[in-house]
Copies of this chain bind each other. A is one copy, B any other.
Amino acid sequence: MGAGNLLYAQSGGPTAVINATAAGVIDAARKHRKAIGKVFAARNGILGALREQLYDLSGFDAKMTRQLRATPGSAFGSCRFKLKGIEDSRAHYERLIEVCRAHDIRYFLYNGGNDSADTANKISQIASQLGYGLHGIGVPKTVDNDLVITDNCPGFGSAAKYTAISMLEASIDVEAMYESSTKVFVLEVMGRHAGWLAAAAGLAGKKADEPPQIILFPEVPFEEANFLAAVKRSVDRNGYCAIAVSEGVRYADGRLLAEAGTRDAFGHAQLGGAGELIAKLVKDKLGYKYHFAVPDYLQRSARHIASKTDDEQAYAVGQAAVQYAAAGMNAVMPTIRRVSGKPYRWTIEPAPLAKIANHEKMMPKNFIRADGYGITAACRNYLEPLIAGEAYPPYANGIPTYLRVPKKFVKRKLAEYSIADK
């Protein structure tokens, strides 16, 4: 029996490999029996922790853990719910400590992005104020790849691989048909603030004439005339133009294209996301037949084409988080350090949550080509190892055998808690 139990929770948007992190946590906890007793997982992230809805993962054998590792989504449920500062949300923080106390939880692992790092840090602080010994550990996860210090964020590599492959496959399709059909294809990719996933589309081709011929980054102000000229150049030269557009692309004045009320040739307001708007703009101004794709959630849940690097790193940060907890560390996050680029070698190292919370890593300037429409060799060197290797899930009858976690919860010890009332 360990010194205390461990509570693991998933936060924010799911990824293809967040459950690999969960599997890393479960497997590592078994190796630290002296420090760690039971492993619980909160249902729907911090909401379940507040409500005392806890999965008991003792029943997870090696087979289930392997299946969990190969399952996308957030297997225990996740949430969009940000705890405010300690003074504003004191009731919630105190409730969390009360839940931990009731179930002898001495380790709290919060798997998410910036906000989750912040929350894990605050929970650790308030536990200390209340005289309850609790190790708060953040575990990195986000397809946005915007956490600082770490080389990259688990979840990003798989979404990046999906995006690059989708761009390549659709472009090959368009290339075959442009003479008598679609000449301009637009792929809309996630990323409201940073263009990491848009950049990943750039891995579909290597030379300037290879697809995508144009990438629209949120970091580069959208200039209509310049963009249309680039589209026309590609159609004149290659017969077609494949475009990756970030959902967060903006005009120079900061307005999102998708919210700027663009109007068509007839003065009608154009609705829709950035991909549709860009496609219709091209049709309106240049007359080319277009198609556009919006993969939406498909790109962050595509476990069927997960990156092996990503799967391994996601698993490793889960393992490391448990090791840090068992070693008595507090208010830290395992981060990935790139030891060498070619061949790609990496290690996991702890970083203080305070240095990660509330910071955002944008694309470096030298990752975007001088004309603003492509990625540089430096960017390619950074991205390529992150999508390397294929970590295929097992299949039955043509469909992956993803795990659905049985909804069996630990017996409650406390009174009900209404989140909305606080």
Residues on A lying within 8 angstroms of B by beta carbon are 10, 13-14, 16, 44, 47, 71-81, 161, 164-166, 168-170, 172-177, 179-182, 185, 203-204, 270-272, 276, 291-298, 300-305, 307, 384, 386-390, 392, 395, 397-400, 402
Residue in A72, A75, A398, A399 with the greatest tally of chain B CB atoms within 10 Å: A398
Residues of B within 8 A of A399 (CB): 164-165, 168, 203-204, 387
Instruction: Verify A169–B302 contact, CB threshold 8 A.
Output: yes
Copies of this protein in the assembly total 2
Instruction: Verify A297–B293 contact, CB threshold 8 A.
Output: yes
Q: How far is the CA of A164 from the CA of B304 in the complex (A)?
A: 12
Q: How far is the CA of A26 from the CA of B385 in the complex (A)?
A: 36
Instruction: Verify A292–B294 contact, CB threshold 8 A.
Output: yes
Instruction: Verify B173–A307 contact, CB threshold 8 A.
Output: no
Q: Answer whether A44 and B179 are a contact pair too, CB < 8 Å, given A73-B173, A302-B169, A388-B398.
A: yes
Which of B297, B303, B305 makes the CB contact (< 8 A) with A185?
B297
Which of B172, B182, B296, B397 makes the CB contact (< 8 A) with A72?
B172
Q: How far is the CA of A168 from the CA of B401 in the complex (A)?
A: 10
Instruction: Verify B80–A180 contact, CB threshold 8 A.
Output: yes
Q: How far is the CA of A295 from the CA of B296 in the complex (A)?
A: 9
Which of B173, B179, B400 makes the CB contact (< 8 A) with A14?
B173
22 A-B contacts, Cβ less than 8 Å apart?
A: A14-B172, A14-B177, A44-B179, A44-B180, A73-B175, A77-B176, A80-B177, A80-B180, A165-B304, A169-B297, A169-B298, A169-B304, A173-B301, A204-B399, A293-B296, A295-B295, A307-B398, A386-B398, A388-B397, A388-B398, A389-B395, A390-B395
Distance in angstroms from A153 CB to nearest chain B CB is: 17
Distance in angstroms from A311 CB to nearest chain B CB is: 12
Instruction: Verify A177–B13 contact, CB threshold 8 A.
Output: yes
Instruction: Verify B177–A78 contact, CB threshold 8 A.
Output: yes
Residue in A13, A14, A44, A179 with the greatest tally of chain B CB atoms within 10 Å: A179
Q: How far is the CA of A271 from the CA of B13 in the complex (A)?
A: 28
Instruction: Verify A173–B398 contact, CB threshold 8 A.
Output: no
Chain B residue at minimal CB-CB distance from A44? B179
Q: A73-B173, A166-B302, A294-B296 are in contact. List 9 more A-B contacts (CB 8 A).
A: A14-B176, A74-B177, A77-B175, A164-B398, A166-B298, A169-B303, A169-B304, A170-B301, A384-B397
Which of B10, B73, B164 makes the CB contact (< 8 A) with A169?
B73
Residue in A47, A164, A176, A400 with the greatest tally of chain B CB atoms within 10 Å: A176
Which of B168, B292, B389, B402 makes the CB contact (< 8 A) with A400?
B168
Instruction: Verify A180–B73 contact, CB threshold 8 A.
Output: no
Residues of B within 8 A of A301 (CB): 169-170, 172-173
Instruction: Verify A295–B293 contact, CB threshold 8 A.
Output: yes
Residues of B within 8 A of A76 (CB): 176
Residues of B within 8 A of A402 (CB): 168-169, 172
Distance in angstroms from A368 CB to nearest chain B CB is: 21
Which of B180, B304, B384, B395 makes the CB contact (< 8 A) with A81?
B180
Residues of B within 8 A of A13 (CB): 173, 177
Instruction: Verify B297–A173 contact, CB threshold 8 A.
Output: yes
Instruction: Verify A72–B271 contact, CB threshold 8 A.
Output: no
Distance in angstroms from A171 CB to nearest chain B CB is: 8
Residues of B within 8 A of A172 (CB): 14, 71-73, 301, 402
Distance in angstroms from A381 CB to nearest chain B CB is: 11
Instruction: Verify A294–B294 contact, CB threshold 8 A.
Output: yes
Q: How far is the CA of A165 from the CA of B181 in the complex (A)?
A: 28
Instruction: Verify B165–A400 contact, CB threshold 8 A.
Output: yes
Chain B residue at minimal CB-CB distance from A385? B398
Q: How far is the CA of A76 from the CA of B179 in the complex (A)?
A: 12
Q: How far is the CA of A127 from the CA of B241 in the complex (A)?
A: 39
